[in-house]
Structure 1
Amino acid sequence: MNIGVVIVSFLAVNLDFFFMLLFLLNKYKFNEVLWGYFSAVIFILLISYSIGFALTRLFPEWSLGILGFVPIWMAIHDEDEEYVSNGRKGLLGVVITYLSTCLGCNLAIFLPILTGKNITDLFETLFIVGGLTLGVTILINAIRRIQTISNIMEKHGDQLMKICYVVIGLYVMFDSGLINHIYQWL
Structure 2
Amino acid sequence: MHYGILAITFLSVNLDFFFMLVFLLKKYRLSQVIWGYFLGNMILLTASFFIGRTLTLFLPEWLLGVLGILPIWLAFHDDDDEQADRSGRSPVLNVLVTYLAVCAGCNLSIFLPVLVGESMAHFLMTLVFIGVLTVLVVIIIKQVATLPVVQRVVTAHGERLMKICYVLIGCYVFWDSGLISHLLALW
Band the TM-score falls in, shorter-chain normalisation: 0.5 to 0.7
In the alignment, structure 1 residue 114 sits paired with structure 2 residue 115: yes
Query: Measured at CA, do residues 14 and 73 of structure 1 come closer, stay the same or move farther in structure 2, by a change above 3 Å?
Result: closer
Residue 103 (1) aligns with residue 104 (2): yes
Aligned pairs (5 A) from 1:107-146: 107-144=108-145
Alignment of 1:58-97 (within 5 A): 72=82, 74=84, 77=85, 89-97=90-98
Seen in structure 2, the aligned counterparts of structure 1 residues 118 and 53 have a Cα distance that, compared at 3 Å, is closer
Question: Structure 1 CA distance, aligned partners of 2:111 and 2:4?
Answer: 13
Q: TM-score when scaled to structure 1?
A: 0.61
Paired residues of 2:37 and 2:95 also in contact (CA < 8 A): yes
* Percent of residue pairs identical: 42
Normalising by structure 2, we get a TM-score of 0.61
> For 1:33 and 1:116, how far apart are their aligned partners in 2?
31
Q: Is the 8 A contact 2:83 2:98 kept in 1?
A: no
Measured after TM superposition, the shift of residue 72 of structure 1 is 2.5
| Alignment match, 1:23 | 23
Instruction: Give the root-mean-square deviation of aligned CA atoms.
Output: 3.0
Work out the CA distance in 2 between the residues paired with 1:73 and 1:15: 16
State whether residues 53 and 112 of structure 1, in contact with CA within 8 Å, keep that contact through their aligned partners in structure 2.
no
Residues 31-73 of structure 1 deviation map (CA, whole Å, 9 limit, x = unaligned): 1100000000011001111121769xxxxx89xxxxx78x535
Deviation at 1:116, TM superposition (A): 1.8
> 1:19 and 1:72 mapped to 2: Cα distance?
14
In the alignment, is the contact (CA less than 8 A) between 2:36 and 2:95 conserved in 1? Answer: yes
- 1:114 positional shift: 1.1
Give the Cα–Cα distance (whole angstroms) in 1 for the partners of residues 36 and 102 of structure 2.
Answer: 14
Query: What are the ranges of 5 or more consecutive residues in structure 1 without an aligned counterpart?
Result: 56-60, 63-67, 150-186
Report the Cα distance in structure 2 between the residues aligned to 1:94 and 1:115, rounded to whole angstroms: 28
Paired with 1:7 and 1:36, the residues of 2 have a C-alpha distance of: 20
Number of corresponding residues: 130
The residue matched to 2:118 in structure 1 has which SS? coil
Go from structure 1 to structure 2 and tell me whether the alpha carbon gap of 1:53 and 1:109 turns closer, same or farther (over 3 Å shift). Answer: farther
